[in-house]
């Protein structure tokens, strides 16, 4: 059996994974801030974390995954600047912050289910864990890591934590206030961060979400929630913490400071971070406007698992450039794979055979989740003329425990026609009736680009997947 190695952001190298408890693995994954839909860049990160979990399970471990739901405290900057994201979402849609939180939490898990992402064993809302956050801040207060600012907000003093910025390789002496971090006269150091926002003296006097605390009525900062909830459900020492690379310099750096500041001991053994999805040479981000959601892809006729397959074509630590052409290629590859699996089902599956392919696959996934190499092994199995269908199917279904492409549940049936495609078909029929055949041909090409063919019959158009 191959030894599982993972790239640890903390050490900047691959390390053998040794869990705290043999046969078990605890992992904390930073969840969504539920003020808007997740975009496909966010979803790439959650697919990577799902692959990590599946690889651990494939290795025979019992995994406990904890994911937070941020429904309070996250400002439009990952630091302490800008508007509150939840209140911004509520104002945008004319709803309460509580309604916004519930709606987008449901939307997130709907997207996750369509992408075949396994649900975490523990899903914890920030607003349900205010007492735990207050208790953790009290520990930091006892160890003199905090101070009350002139605007009555409670800050973590990074000068009290000697290792601050070690994972991000920050050189604090080079970070001059006003250059990389805006000047805030309420802070002793530019990188100090809020643990508790006070309603008494800060700009958030009218904040809707509010709780009593030893430091006055207010609400928690963003960073404290992850430390408090991770410790509650996984203990003061945990195996794995993961998220996107944008979390490294601020959010995860601050989590380390407050967690280790409270306990006085190392907190996380392995830090894993997924790279950006790139669109037009820029990282995918909601703040840029016009972001692409999973529903955007569905409206263009794609299956959610087309996108999941697409993300597997690049290593999680490499930037992945998104285009509809690339997604179309992924759709075609997945369609071909499904057709092969259906043809292999002529014989019942057996247990995975221990051969070269099984060993190659195990080595690929154990090498820091190398999905492109694992896919190459999968296709080698599909194309090998020396393997029988029974053996191919057994291997592929075992591999799919990691890929998560739903290959064990395929049925041979005609694909449903998406509403977006059906709408184009109707518009094409209208153009034909008006004898606008040029427009009809253009619409046929557009339909073909979405993966469907239109055949004209005396009874009307017949649409089927390419």
Confidence of residue 121 (pLDDT cuts 50, 70, 90): very high
pLDDT of residue 414: 44
Q: Strand, coil or helix: what is 186?
A: coil
Rounded distance between C-alpha atoms, residue 91 and residue 100, angstroms:
10
| Torsion 329-334-337-342 (CA) sign | negative
Residue whose C-alpha is closest to residue 372's, from 118, 58, 119, 48 = 48
Contact partners, residue 167, CB within 8 Å, separation at least 6:
9, 10, 248, 252, 253, 256, 271
pLDDT of residue 176: 42
Give the count of beta carbons closer than 10 Å to the beta carbon of residue 15.
15
Contact partners, residue 436, CB within 8 Å, separation at least 6:
none
Contact partners, residue 102, CB within 8 Å, separation at least 6:
none
- Please count the CA atoms within 13 angstroms of the CA of 259 that sit on its side-chain side: 24
Q: Where do the H-state alpha helices sit in 300-370?
A: 304-312, 324-344, 356-366
Rounded distance between C-alpha atoms, residue 372 and residue 375, angstroms:
5
Highest mean pLDDT (candidates 281-295, 311-325, 415-429): 311-325
In tens, the pLDDT along 54-95 reads 999 999 999 999 999 999 988 888 777 888 899 999 999 999
pLDDT of residue 290: 54
- Please count the CA atoms within 13 angstroms of the CA of 368 that sit on its side-chain side: 18
pLDDT at 289 over 60: no
pLDDT at 130 over 50: yes
pLDDT of residue 347: 64
pLDDT of residue 183: 60
In tens, the pLDDT along 152-171 reads 899 999 999 999 999 998 76
Contact partners, residue 370, CB within 8 Å, separation at least 6:
315, 364
pLDDT at 172 over 70: no
In tens, the pLDDT along 340-386 reads 999 888 666 666 666 899 999 999 999 999 999 999 999 999 999 98
pLDDT of residue 317: 98
Contact partners, residue 426, CB within 8 Å, separation at least 6:
none
Instruction: Give me the chain's average pLDDT, please.
Output: 90
Q: Give every strand in the sheet of 238-244, ordered side by side.
A: 122-125, 62-69, 24-29, 238-244, 268-274
Q: Which helix (H) or strand (E) is 50 found in, with range?
A: helix 40-58
Q: Give every strand in the sheet of 282-283, ordered side by side.
A: 282-283, 277-279, 320-321
pLDDT at 178 over 50: no
pLDDT of residue 451: 81
pLDDT of residue 161: 97
Cβ-contact 344, 393 below 8 angstroms: yes
Rounded distance between C-alpha atoms, residue 440 and residue 443, angstroms:
5
pLDDT of residue 351: 66
Instruction: Return the minimum-mean-pLDDT range out of 121-125, 348-352, 388-392.
Output: 348-352
In tens, the pLDDT along 193-232 reads 999 999 987 677 788 999 999 999 999 999 999 999 999 9
Find residue 322's DSSP bridge partners: none
Tell me how far CA of residue 103 lies from CA of 7, 67, 93, 219, 416, in angstroms: 35, 17, 11, 21, 27
Give the count of beta carbons closer than 10 Å to the beta carbon of residue 286.
18
Q: Strand, coil or helix: what is 204?
A: coil
- Output DSSP code: residue 209: S
Region 233-237 average pLDDT: 98
Give the count of beta carbons closer than 10 Å to the beta carbon of residue 239.
24
Region 277-302 average pLDDT: 77
Rounded distance between C-alpha atoms, residue 81 and residue 153, angstroms:
13
Cβ-contact 295, 191 below 8 angstroms: no
Rounded distance between C-alpha atoms, residue 466 and residue 215, angstroms:
63
Which tokens is 456 given?
């004209």
Give the count of beta carbons closer than 10 Å to the beta carbon of residue 90.
19
pLDDT of residue 175: 46
Q: Which helix (H) or strand (E) is 444 found in, with range?
A: helix 437-449
Instruction: Return the minimum-mean-pLDDT range out of 166-180, 309-323, 356-370.
Output: 166-180
Question: What pTM value is reported for the model?
Answer: 0.86
Contact partners, residue 219, CB within 8 Å, separation at least 6:
72, 73, 196, 197, 199, 204, 207, 209, 210, 211
Confidence of residue 177 (pLDDT cuts 50, 70, 90): very low
Cβ-contact 297, 252 below 8 angstroms: no
| Of residues 290 and 296, more confidently modeled | 296
In tens, the pLDDT along 4-32 reads 999 999 999 999 999 999 999 999 999 99
Q: Which helix (H) or strand (E) is 62 found in, with range?
A: strand 62-69
């Amino acid at each position: 059996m191959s030894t599982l190695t993972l790239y640890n952001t903390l050490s900047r190298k691959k390390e053998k994974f040794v869990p705290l408890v043999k046969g078990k693995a605890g992992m904390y994954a930073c969840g969504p801030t539920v003020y808007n839909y997740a975009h496909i860049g966010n979803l790439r990160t959650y697919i990577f974390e799902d692959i990590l979990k599946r690889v651990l399970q494939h290795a025979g471990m019992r995994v406990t995954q904890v994911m937070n739901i941020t429904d309070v405290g996250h400002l439009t900057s990952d630091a302490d600047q800008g508007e509150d994201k939840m209140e911004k979402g509520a104002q945008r849609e004319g709803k309460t912050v509580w309604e916004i939180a519930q709606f987008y939490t449901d939307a997130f898990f709907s997207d996750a289910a369509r992408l075949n992402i396994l649900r975490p064993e523990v899903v914890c809302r920030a607003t349900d864990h205010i007492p735990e956050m207050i208790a953790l801040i009290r520990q930091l207060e006892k160890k003199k890591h905090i101070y009350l600012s002139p605007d009555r907000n409670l800050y973590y003093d990074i000068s009290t934590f000697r290792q601050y910025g070690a994972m991000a390789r920050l050189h604090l002496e080079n970070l001059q206030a006003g250059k990389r971090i805006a000047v805030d006269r309420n802070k002793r150091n530019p990188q100090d961060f809020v643990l508790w926002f006070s309603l008494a003296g800060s700009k958030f006097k009218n904040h809707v979400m509010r709780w009593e605390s030893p430091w006055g009525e207010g609400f928690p900062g963003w960073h404290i929630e992850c430390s408090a909830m991770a410790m509650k459900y996984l203990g003061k020492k945990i195996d794995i913490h993961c998220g996107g690379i944008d979390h490294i310099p601020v959010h995860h750096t601050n989590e380390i400071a407050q967690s280790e500041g409270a306990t006085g001991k190392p907190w996380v053994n392995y830090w894993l971070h997924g790279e950006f999805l790139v669109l037009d040479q820029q990282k995918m981000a909601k703040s840029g406007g016009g972001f692409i959601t999973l529903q955007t892809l569905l409206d263009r006729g794609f299956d959610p698992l087309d996108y999941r397959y697409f993300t597997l074509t690049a290593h999680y630590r490499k930037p992945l450039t998104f285009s509809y052409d690339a997604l179309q290629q992924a759709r075609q590859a997945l369609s071909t794979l499904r057709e092969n699996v259906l043809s292999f089902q002529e014989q019942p599956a057996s247990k995975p055979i221990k051969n070269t392919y099984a060993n190659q696959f195990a080595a690929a996934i154990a090498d820091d989740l190398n999905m492109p190499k694992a896919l190459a092994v999968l296709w080698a199995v599909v194309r090998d003329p020396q393997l029988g269908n029974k053996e191919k199917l057994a291997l592929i279904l075992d591999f799919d425990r990691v890929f998560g492409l739903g290959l064990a549940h395929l049925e041979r049936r005609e694909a449903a026609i998406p509403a977006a495609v059906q709408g184009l078909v109707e518009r094409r029929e209208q153009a034909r009736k008006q004898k606008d055949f040029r427009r009809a041909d253009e619409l046929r090409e557009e339909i073909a680009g979405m993966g469907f063919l239109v055949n004209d019959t005396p009874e009307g158009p017949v649409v089927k997947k390419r």
